[in-house]
Amino acid sequence: MPHPIMFDDADPVLARVRGIALALPDTTEVIAHGRPTFRCGKMFGNYGGSVKATKVRHDRSLLFIPEESERPALLDDPRFFLPAYLGPYGWLGLVLDETSDWTEVGELLDASYRQIAPKRSIAKLSTPD
């Protein structure tokens, strides 16, 4: 049985996340476990998630892989949470809304992307089209 869809395709916050994620080279969007995921071979972003060991859902959130040096500071910020399932693998979640800092979202997605993308894809980041 497939997972139920847990997002609204017309969500303006999702549209902003999509625009940032899909602008990264060789990125695709795949629906997995009822949510949009962003991949460059491996997954580097997930839209929506829940807090580890609770039933608290954040349908408007971004799950990402932070730079290890940034992780402690991000966890001290109340906007961030340890997501169920992916949290034990180093992922964090950021609660989003229309007033989110989209520059920050872009930086977090970029850092997550750089940790999983192949070198040939990362090289395209500095190459003008």
- The one-letter amino acid at 72: P
pLDDT band at 2 (very low <50, low <70, confident <90, very high): confident
Record: fold of 18-123: Aspartate Aminotransferase, domain 1 (3.90.1150)
**CA distances from residue 34 to 21, 26, 37, 72, 96 in whole angstroms, order as listed:** 18, 22, 9, 29, 18
Q: List, for residues 8-18, the tens digit of each pLDDT value.
A: 999 999 999 99
Q: Are 125 and 27 in contact (CB under 8 A)?
A: no
Q: Are 29 and 23 in contact (CB under 8 A)?
A: no
Q: List, for residues 39-80, the tens digit of each pLDDT value.
A: 999 999 999 999 999 989 999 999 999 999 999 999 999 999
pTM of the entire structure? 0.95
Parse the chain into domains and list their residue ranges: 18-123
**CA distances from residue 25 to 40, 79, 109, 110 in whole angstroms, order as listed:** 8, 28, 12, 11
pLDDT at 118 exceeding the cut of 80: yes
